[in-house]
């Protein structure tokens, strides 16, 4: 039987060049830069751009947005040299499609929203579905057992993931990617290098 490829690893809430370089060195496949003004991990376009350029093209750089206008999203993503966009909150399909013309999209949904949106986006060439807790970045986990029967094909998982629980989540749901932030920090916006490395090692070392 063919061995499964481990999920891709995204580390979100990057707020400095130093943390970007550290996460890339640890083996992260993608970094998240939060531009949603409500976040305690808000990053400036200038810092995000410097961090993005520092890690090079092998690492996906994801701009994270919530309740922001289309022009603002595209402007910030371009200025900061993002290569993908992560979208939270209720959004018209046309808004998401407009982003897809320029970037690949991580479309973040709560489990209660999955039934209404999965037919629209599952299998879309530019959209990947990600399931997250009702309050992103809160450290709350989802009920993985309840999601087993309906987890989207090729979907990503977020919500309270860390070195101690990510393997269990992967075993249950087999996501294509995992996203973490709160469990990998010394304090909001500042990464814990040991936790980051432990998380990456746990995911990359997963054997099906």
> In 3-state terms, what secondary structure has residue 159?
coil
Which listed residue (19, 29, 132, 179) is catalytic? 132
Whether the Cβ atoms of residue 34 and residue 12 lie closer than 8 Å to each other: yes
State how beta strands 8-11 and 177-180 pair. Answer: parallel
Whether the Cβ atoms of residue 192 and residue 180 lie closer than 8 Å to each other: no
Tokens for 128?
Answer: 């990947």
12 part of the active site? yes
Integer Cα distance of 144 and 111 in angstroms: 10
Question: In DSSP terms, which residues pair with 11 in a beta bridge?
Answer: 31, 180
Integer Cα distance of 32 and 24 in angstroms: 12
Phi, psi of 96 (to 5 degrees): -65, -45
132 part of the active site? yes
Integer Cα distance of 174 and 167 in angstroms: 10
Integer Cα distance of 102 and 119 in angstroms: 22
Q: Active-site residues: which are they?
A: 12, 132
């Amino acid at each position: 039987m063919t061995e499964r490829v481990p999920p891709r690893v995204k580390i979100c809430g990057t707020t400095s060049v130093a943390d970007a370089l550290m996460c890339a060195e640890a083996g992260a496949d993608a970094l998240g830069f939060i531009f949603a003004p409500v976040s305690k991990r808000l990053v400036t376009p200038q810092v995000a751009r410097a961090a993005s350029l520092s890690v090079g093209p092998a690492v996906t750089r994801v701009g994270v947005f919530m309740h922001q206008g289309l022009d603002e999203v595209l402007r910030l993503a371009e200025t900061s040299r993002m290569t993908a966009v992560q979208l939270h909150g209720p959004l018209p399909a046309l808004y998401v499609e407009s982003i897809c013309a320029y970037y690949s999209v991580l479309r973040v949904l709560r489990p209660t929203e999955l039934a209404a949106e999965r037919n629209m986006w599952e299998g879309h060439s530019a959209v990947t579905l990600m399931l997250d807790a009702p309050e992103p970045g809160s450290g709350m986990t989802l009920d993985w057992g309840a999601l087993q029967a309906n987890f989207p094909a090729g979907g990503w998982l977020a919500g309270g993931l860390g070195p101690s629980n990510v393997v269990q989540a992967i075993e249950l749901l087999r996501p294509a990617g995992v996203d973490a932030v709160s469990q990998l920090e010394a304090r909001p916006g500042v990464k814990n290098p040991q936790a980051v490395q432990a998380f990456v090692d746990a995911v990359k070392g997963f054997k099906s």
